[in-house]
Amino acid sequence: MTNTMGAKATGPLAGIRILDLTSVVNGAYGTQILADQGADVIKLEDPGSGRGDGGDIMRWAGHLPEGAPRGMGPIFLNINRNKRSILLDLKKESARRALAKIIRSCDVVASSIRYEGMKRLGLAYEDVAAIKPDIVFVHAAGYGSDGPYAGEPAYDDLIQSASGCADLLPRTDGDPTPRILPTLVADKVSGLFLSQAVTAALLHKARTGEGQFVEVPMFECVTSFLLVEHLYDHTFDPPTGQWGYQRVVNPNRKPFATKDGYIGLLPYTDRQWDQFFDAAGFGEAVKSDPRFADYATRARHTRELYGMIEQAAATKTTQEWLDILKPLSIPVVKTNTLDDLDDDPHLKAVGFFQPFTHPELGTYRLMKPPVKFSKSPSNLRRHPPRLGEQTDEILAEFGIAAEEA
């Protein structure tokens, strides 16, 4: 059974209109969060250079079902639902005039286009504010405008390399080769910063009537995110120790093998550690070991401690550990592969994967908005748009005939 799209926006941002000039993942992920929360997000796309099919490049990544229309790739579907797509060629003066009319109705402009490009298009903050003085203009940059990298291109791989992310695995396993984490962490973290920045700027506007320019630089956002724990002893001047939170860069911090699978496991309090090792039959050996006497001493010996967890975990099956540890409120979970997620009982119970029937794609799945609002719930109300799907609809809202744009 498939779900149906909601008829109208129910989220806390219902009534807010956002002009979305983002693409790929950074920015587009953030504006989808805002769209899920009720904002009317108008995704501006262009016809391209003539060498491709135009529009957001993420339209063209991935494998589609047989007979499905092109330009609706799986990553695009997962970061562009609840948006409307308008296709305009901004090289044309008529398209720029049409866009100006749209901007006058918008509360927010969000862009991930390099700022020099925005200037060339006549869409820098000053240009947009001349049309709509109280606009909230949020720019997803690669690097902050005050630094020497300002204006340089930035993608997830580059920002992971620049921010220190690529130094995490070497600090964990001793292989000095820098490695990029196999997820678009820089893009998605930056998108989260962007969505929060938009709502904060809208709150300021509600209180003061002022719009403003907001810069969301990937490099600074991701480095800030990373160093929450990994600045560690370099927080102090002079440093009192090393970079990297010891517990987290410990090579033994991992899912632990059981007799028939793996578990994620983290006793945290003194009592939980004692209970876990008692259950494994290691209790007296651990309790009498001065290295594990309390939190501070355990923290200095996490590598050895996690090595003992590894030994203990292998003595029972996954289900045996779940049955023993959950009643003790010791944090434990079965380790899922990606293939296991479809059948995870919790994800099933909360309706995490939601099937929909698209008129041209057939059945596809979206993930439900994870944040739960008790009074103004997010909802899914629009399929991810085909390229330019709502162009005529949006132009008509502003009294513009298609041939005039």
Within 10 angstroms of residue 390's Cβ, the number of other Cβ atoms is 19
pLDDT computed for residue 396 by the predictor:
96
Nearest CA to 30 out of 178, 174, 224, 221 is that of 221
Residue pair 115/124 in contact by the 8 Å Cβ criterion: yes
Nearest CA to 295 out of 261, 268, 264 is that of 268
Strands (E), 40-116: 40-45, 83-87, 108-111
**Strand 136-141 relative to strand 212-217: parallel, antiparallel, unpaired?**
parallel
Confidence of residue 7 (pLDDT cuts 50, 70, 90): confident
Residue range 344-349: average pLDDT?
97
Cis before 238 (ω within 30): yes
Q: Is the pLDDT of residue 14 over 80?
A: yes
Whole-number Å distance between alpha carbons of 16 and 37: 10
Nearest-5° Cα angle at 238, 233 to 243? 30
Nearest CA to 34 out of 110, 104, 100, 101 is that of 110
Whole-number Å distance between alpha carbons of 205 and 210: 5
284-305, pLDDT tens digit by residue? 777 788 887 777 888 788 888 8
Residue pair 140/218 in contact by the 8 Å Cβ criterion: yes
Confidence of residue 49 (pLDDT cuts 50, 70, 90): low
Residue extents of the structural domains in the chain = 17-225+347-404, 256-334
Is CATH 3.40.50.620 what the domain over 17-225+347-404 is classified as, yes or no? no
105-139, pLDDT tens digit by residue? 999 999 999 999 999 999 999 999 999 999 999 99
Q: Is the pLDDT of residue 50 over 80?
A: no
Measured on CA atoms in the order 325, 327, 330, 333, is the torsion positive or negative?
A: positive
Of 34-38, 47-51, 67-71, 249-253, which gets the smallest average pLDDT?
A: 47-51
Nearest CA to 34 out of 85, 97, 102, 108 is that of 108
Beta bridge partners of 45: 87
Whole-number Å distance between alpha carbons of 251 and 159: 24
Within 10 angstroms of residue 232's Cβ, the number of other Cβ atoms is 19
Confidence of residue 58 (pLDDT cuts 50, 70, 90): very high
Whole-number Å distance between alpha carbons of 188 and 25: 7
pLDDT computed for residue 118 by the predictor:
95
Angle (deg, nearest 10), helices 185-208 and 218-230: 110
pLDDT computed for residue 55 by the predictor:
93
**Strand 362-367 relative to strand 353-358: parallel, antiparallel, unpaired?**
antiparallel
Could you tell me the pTM of the whole model? Answer: 0.94
- The CATH architecture that domain 256-334 belongs to is 2-Layer Sandwich (3.30)
Spatial strand order in the sheet of 136-141 = 83-87, 40-45, 17-21, 108-111, 136-141, 212-217
Two domains, one topology: 17-225+347-404 and 256-334: no
Residue listed under structure tokens 């009537």? 209
Percent of the chain with pLDDT over 90: 82
Structure tokens at 171: 């600090």
